[in-house]
A and B are shown apart, each in its own frame.
Chain A
Amino acid sequence: MNDNSQIIIIGAGQAATSAANSLRQNGFTGGIKIFGNENLAPYQRPPLSKAYMLGDTNVERLQFRSLEQWQGDDIEILPDTEIVKINAKEKFISDIDGNFHNYDKLIIATGSRVRKLNIAGSNLENIFYLKTLKDSDAIKGHMVAGKRIAIIGAGYIGLEAAAIARKFGLEVHVLELAPRVLARVASPELSGFFERLHTERGVHIHTNVQVAGFEGDDKLNAVLLGDGTKIECDVALVGIGILPNDELAKDAGLVCENGINTNSFAQTSDPDIYACGDCANREMGDKRMRIESVHNAIEQGKIAAAHIMGAPMPKLESPWFWSDQYEIKLQIVGLWNDATQSIVRGDMTQNKFAIYHLDSENHVLAVDAINSPPDFLVGKQLVFNKTALAPEIISDIAIPAKEFLKNIV
């Protein structure tokens, strides 16, 4: 790579920001262009269902940098410019206005889009999804005491929105197809905790329900369930998962299976094209995973930049995630799915505890920390090192979590 090299990034979000920053930090002196199809500089999404929706922060603070600050770093951001095609053979991309842009290396960081619900009445007014700043603003406009909101899908975004809606004094119904909340992403113990928490705060949680349709004249006034029950409401927020934005990559002939396949260097099947963030299906050990989190987007951006520059690989961390609901801060590290035992440390009724997920040989695979940063930070190291820890030690709160690290060699 030299002064004349051109790196193009498609998508102007979390992964793009990380890749561009790391390219400069690794000494890249050529041109960097980031194309984004939203009308502002790259911004953080997590606050859209947390502090921003609550009104505790503003657009300036959501954006990593203003457009002017980006120019100062000699990184060209082109907002409002959708990329419509990648020509991998001749190494250029085309934007929606018909312009071509050549690249030496291309990074695809197009993120994901919401999965839509296509059922009767889904075109009615006041049915929302939550992905962008615009979406968050639109929903916030309905956060008015006395209104009724139906939240379809009890994932993290749905539950965070439920907590905010309660804070603003709305009547809240959460409608979930699975038998428990957070079914796709959390352990049964953690689901149980959040179900109790939201119920205590006045949220009506309905699990095992199928949403069959929306009713209303122009505007929504009810959600219809599969068993014929009607949930009257003024607004609906649908949060039923996301789909990777991998169409450009597929069209260009890159290998995609549930996202754009990448190797451990964030490279796609074309060695000059990288993919990072929500759109990538990354190689992790002997499996592939598509991870939807800030940490994953940042880490992959750094990996791609380091590989392009021939710099040392960044230190990898176990996947982690957080969520804020009411006064509860949840921090999760690792993946609990393969665990055979879940050990609670602390008192669940005091809203301050942790759940350690172990395999059959007591190796720590994941830790869920609820208002308990020590368990999260210790858990990060335990999970990374796959440390074995006896269940009776974990549940003994007389032993400080710090002691757990003594077993790491």
Chain B
Amino acid sequence: MTEITFIEHNGKEHKVDAAGGGSVMEAAVKNNIPGIDADCGGACACATCHVYVDEKWLDKINPMGSMEESMLDFAENVQPNSRLSCQIVVNEDLEGLVVTIPESQG
């Protein structure tokens, strides 16, 4: 299990245990984190799982695929540390990962 902290736009924190091999989005859904709707269930088709990744983990997470990049290019409130959480694979290196949920998903 890997600990991940989700921070809502209003600052509310949620610490959850995520299963290795699953996605950060799945960890959010399993714990009913507000703001991660994940309408497409991880098919990289909806961008409702958008998060900002804390700088410290940016080089530890798996790189972006072209579909994700292209979705993010057009999502709302995009920043340089934006990712689609359904495309981030959980592993031990991500222990303590912190992600923030954008205002548009608040």
Contacts and interface: CB of A to CB of B under 8 A. Distances in A.
Interface of A: 21, 24-25, 44, 46-47, 50-51, 61, 64-66, 69, 73, 294-295, 298, 320, 322, 324, 329, 331, 373-374, 376-378, 401-402
A78 B31 CA distance: 19
Contact of A294 (B30, B39, B70): B39
Interface residue SS majority, chain B: loop
B40 interface: yes
B73 interface: yes
B45 A329 contact: yes
A46 B74 contact: no
B30 to A, nearest CB: 5
Contacts, number: 57
B74 A294 contact: no
Interface of B: 22, 26, 29-32, 34, 37, 39-41, 43-47, 67, 70-71, 73-75
Contact of B71 (A46, A66, A73, A373): A373
Given A61-B22, A298-B39, A378 B32 contact: no
A402 B40 CA distance: 23
Contacts of B31: 69
B67 A373 contact: yes
Most B CB within 10 A of own CB, among A61, A295, A324, A402: A61
A374 B74 contact: yes
A50 B22 CA distance: 18
Most A CB within 10 A of own CB, among B26, B29, B32, B37: B32
Contacts of B32: 21, 24-25, 65, 73
A65 B28 CA distance: 10
Nearest to A20: B32
B71 A65 contact: no
